[in-house]
Structure 1
Amino acid sequence: MREKQQPLKFAVTSKGDATSNSLMQKIKNYLIDFGLIYDEDGPDIVISVGGDGTLLYAFHRYCRRLDKTAFVGVHTGHLGFYADWVPEEIEKLVIAIAKTPYQIVEYPLLEVIIRYVSGGKEARYLALNECTVKSVSGTLVMDVEIKGELFETFRGDGLCVSTPSGSTAYNKALGGAILHPSLEAIQVAEMASINNRVFRTIGSPLILPAHHTCMLKPVNQVDFHVSVDHLSLLHKDVKSIQFRVADEKIRFARFRPFPFWKRVRDSFIAD
């Protein structure tokens, strides 16, 4: 448990639809009435109103102060993996934020470092869900190194590297395993790999622990579409793309239990 700081600074982000905007304003007004300080630049806690996508945007907005900011999600649509409060519970949530200590739960993140042939400044990203790599045109051909050793030459549509908390997103659609978000690991899943008598990939998702680094090195093309969560960019003259468990973590403010396996069941198999 960590005592909430006085005075607590907060910010609220919204999905942008009428329902979410109305709830955002209500939360803001309630918390100000309780004596909390609204501070978009340096909040201690960020309340995300919308869905998992809204929280992803909030995460990237505040990714430079993850050691100082905790997140809590309110979902106004379908059940989310990051949003554990519903609109009917707004007053309960506001009282909890204003009056009670909260538990901090930390989940691992994915670090992505892209280096270039020119030797210019490398690009570094943090992903809460996943990073995907695809060819600009045709088949993606990449040498995959693990801990500095060549593991395979991948040929296929692309590769997806996910965090444990992102394992229920695109990774799951690719046949990857669902990992509990407390695990310090990353997962590499294939997109439509080519396997025949000439070319061969492992054909199975790989789960790498925190001390293992995965490196992709282009075999022919050097221009790639790289997505980090919701952000998709074209990177040219790529020398390598490195993945590992980041030193930083995302921090969630918990005011009540939020069982992961119940969320998985409710999202995918419950009636």
Structure 2
Amino acid sequence: MRIAIYSNPTGGSVKVTKQLKSSLAAANFILDNDRPDVVITVGGDGTLLSAFHHYRHQLNHVRFVGIHTGHLGFYTDWRDFEVEELVDSLKQDTGQKVDYPLVDVDITYVDGNVKHFIALNESTVKKAVNTLVCDIYIKGKLFERFRGDGLCISTPTGSTGYNKSIGGAVVDPSLVGIQLGEIASINNRVFRTLGSPIIVGKDQYLDLVLRTNDRLIVGCDQMQAHDLDNPKEVRKIHYQISQSHISFASYRHTNFWQRVDESFIGGLK
């Protein structure tokens, strides 16, 4: 088995990475950062998101494992003091995994060119200045004209991130679909939007047709940002559940709702 280690540069993570490398070498695992079978991240959810985008072109054969060196994360199942237990689990590996959905982001230009992105948590469309105006289509049918600061399109697992902070619903990952959340929409007697998040199923898709001339920023997982300096050049921004997915090696995988409880409620029983 070929293993890559993807770590953040903080002191605690560096210490764990050193121990992990030593234990993996002693167990005769191959360290390979180019073509790994398993990617072990050391840090937190931000580190795992960064690793996901680094290995996004290898998702069909890579599985991820997260070691968190701070607070409990939504994608990290192991603590920093459990390195030896993780290595023991790797020795017993049979390819077991759990998959989570991703969202495809395609920016189609009027000249036919398409720029493709993929997100594990969410994609956002925001104005650099002034107000974002765009028409929202659901599976080809016009739904509404949005005016406001921006829009957030999230996956079920990403529903606990930025989506939740703008009033979106927390969605069970077994319900595959995408959620559209409004960021500070304008609602008055002249301009109206639904004013609440919507969730569409995996067989649906969203298209955003821009009605603005000012600069926009399209982001993915707060890791990638693409500037649209001239929105007139864009025909649409297309969102749908990806045929690709992220796989986690499920030696021990914390229940999603347990994570929600521990992260936001405090584990009250």
Q: TM-score, normalised by structure 2?
A: 0.95
| Superposed displacement of residue 102, structure 1 | 4.9
The letter of the residue matching 2:2 is K
Structure 2 counterparts to residues 213-228 of structure 1, below 5 A: 213-221=205-213, 223-228=215-220
Count, aligned residues: 263
- Between the aligned partners of 1:67 and 1:190, the Cα distance in structure 2 is 32
1:43-70: CA deviations, max 9, x gaps?
Answer: 0000000000000010001111111000
CA distance, structure 1, for counterparts of residue 62 and residue 145 of structure 2? 40
Preserved CA contact (<8 Å) 2:133 2:147: yes
Instruction: Tell me whether 140-149 or 24-33 shows the greater mean CA deviation.
Output: 24-33
Contact 2:43 2:68 in 1 (8 A): yes
- Residues 1:92 and 2:88 are matched in the alignment: no
The one-letter code sitting in structure 2 at the alignment partner of 1:129 is: N
- How far has the Cα of 1:222 moved from its partner? 5.9
Q: Is the 8 A contact 1:108 1:183 kept in 2?
A: no
Deviation of 1:79 (Å): 1.1
Q: 3-state SS of the aligned residue for 1:258?
A: coil
1:51-200 to structure 2, matched below 5 A, reads 51-119=44-112, 121-200=113-192
Which runs of 5 or more structure 1 residues have no equivalent in the other structure? 1-7
Do structure 1's residue 37 and structure 2's residue 30 form an aligned pair?
Answer: yes
Structure 1 222/215 Cα, relative in aligned 2: closer, same or farther at 3 Å? farther
Could you tell me how far apart the structure 2 residues matched to 1:79 and 1:165 are?
A: 15
Distance 1:136 1:260 in 2: 34
- What TM-score results when the alignment is normalised by the length of structure 1? 0.94
Q: Which amino acid aligns with 1:194?
A: I
Residue number in structure 1 paired with 2:10: 17
Distance, in Å, in 1 between the alignment partners of 2:65 and 2:114 is 32
Aligned residue for 2:266, secondary structure, equals: coil
- Matched to 1:208, the amino acid is V
Identity across matched positions, percent: 47
Question: Which has the higher mean CA deviation after the structures are superposed, 197-206 or 99-108?
Answer: 99-108
Cα RMSD of the aligned pairs, angstroms, is: 1.2
Distance between the aligned counterparts of 2:143 and 2:29, measured in 1? 53
Is 1:242 matched with 2:238?
Answer: yes
Instruction: Read off the aligned partner of 1:131 and give its amino acid letter.
Output: S
Report the alpha carbon displacement of residue 181 of structure 1 after superposing the two structures with TM: 1.7
Structure 2 partner of 1:259: 255
Report the alpha carbon displacement of residue 221 of structure 1 after superposing the two structures with TM: 2.0
Q: Structure 2 unaligned segments of length 5 or more: list them.
A: none
SS in 1 for 2:134: strand
CA distances 1:8-61 after superposition (whole Å, capped 9, x unpaired): 010001011121012112112211221111111110000000000000010001
1:118 and 1:138 map into 2 onto residues whose CA distance is 27
Q: Is the 2:218–2:228 Cα contact (8 Å) retained in structure 1?
A: yes
Whether 1:210 and 2:210 are equivalent positions in the alignment is no
Amino acid in structure 1 at the alignment position of 2:49: L
Do the aligned partners of 2:77 and 2:252 also contact (CA within 8 Å) in 1?
Answer: no
Given the alignment of the two structures, is residue 268 of structure 1 paired with residue 264 of structure 2, yes or no?
Answer: yes
